[in-house]
Amino acid sequence: MQLTVTGKHIDTSPGLRQHVEASLGAILGKYFKTAIEAHVVFSKEAHLSRAEVSVHIGRGISVNAGAVSLAPYAAFDAAAERVAKQMRRYKRRLHSHHAQPRETFEAGERAKDYILAPFDEEAEAEAEEGPAVVAEMSTDLPSLTVSEAVMRMDLANAPVLLFRNRSHGELNLVYRRSDGNIGWIDPELDPTRRMRYRET
Give all domains of the chain, ordered by start, each with its CATH number: 2-99 (3.30.160.100), 108-199 (3.30.505.50)
Residues in the chain: 200
Whole-angstrom distance, CA of residue 35 vs CA of residue 54: 11
Planar angle of CA 37, 144, 56, nearest 5 degrees: 5
Percent above pLDDT 70 for the chain: 80
Whole-angstrom distance, CA of residue 183 vs CA of residue 180: 9
129 Cβ contact list (under 8 Å, min separation 6): none
- The strand pairing partners of 115, in sequence order, are 135
Q: What pLDDT score does 140 carry? A: 76
78 Cβ contact list (under 8 Å, min separation 6): 51, 67, 68, 69
Residue 165 or 116, more confident: 165
Q: What is the pLDDT of residues 16-65, one digit of tens each?
A: 999 999 999 999 888 888 888 999 999 998 899 999 999 998 777 889 99
Kindly tell me the number of DSSP H helices and DSSP E strands found in the chain.
5, 10
Is 23 within 8 Å of 1 (Cβ atoms)? no
What burial class does residue 17 get, using C-beta atoms within 10 Å of its C-beta: 0-12 exposed, 13-18 middle, 19+ buried?
middle
Is 40 within 8 Å of 82 (Cβ atoms)? no
Q: What pLDDT score does 103 carry? A: 35
* pTM of full prediction above 0.75: no
- The strand pairing partners of 52, in sequence order, are 41, 66
Position 130, amino acid: G
Q: What is the pLDDT of residues 108-158, one digit of tens each?
A: 577 777 777 676 665 555 556 667 777 777 777 888 999 999 998 988 888
